[in-house]
Amino acid sequence: MNDRTLLRVCGICFCLLAVSNMTKFLEMSSNQGFMFFGMRQHGTPNLVWGWVFGLYLLIYGIGVLRMRAWALPMGTADAAYVVVNLVLFMIRMPGEAFAHLLFGLVYTIVAIAFSSGAVYLLRKHRDELT
């Protein structure tokens, strides 16, 4: 699979993640909701932050799909946020963070690799961005 195909896959996945974030408020379980700086949100904050970050990811995903230059700083910010959010989750909610250790480890690796990998590919093809 070439880099352009991987970037298309990343762009589509970011758009799908955006939809997931924007519908977090529909999940009624107490252990579900948008994770904002390591704390799970409920109620109105869940709705607001889910939509804010969902719109951000939707715009970013479209930027990746269209190979736009402004997607690179958005991706860099997103990749940094992913790492900070995961670290704060382990600090602020250790009971939940370490309840399913194998899942948490796999999730952490995939989240960091996916967000940082997209930035890496965008930087690698910086001269092709418009």
pLDDT tens profile 46-80: 999 999 999 999 999 999 999 999 999 999 999 99
Asked if residue 38 has pLDDT above 80, the reply is yes
Please report which confidence band the pLDDT of residue 14 belongs to, taking 50, 70 and 90 as the band edges: very high
Alpha-carbon span 127 to 1, nearest angstrom: 20
Helix (H, G, I), strand (E, B) or coil at 1: coil
Please give the pLDDT value at position 32: 84
Please give the pLDDT value at position 54: 98
The mean pLDDT value for 42-46 works out to 92
Domain ranges of the chain: 3-128
Sign of CA dihedral 88, 106, 6, 126: positive
Number of Cα atoms under 13 Å in the Cβ half of residue 30: 1
Please give the pLDDT value at position 99: 87
2-14 exposure pattern, b = at least 16 Cβ within 10 A, e = fewer? eeeeebeebbeeb
pLDDT tens profile 76-117: 999 999 999 999 999 999 988 888 899 999 999 999 999 999
pLDDT tens profile 116-129: 999 999 999 999 99
Alpha-carbon span 42 to 22, nearest angstrom: 13
And the tokens for 38? 């390591």
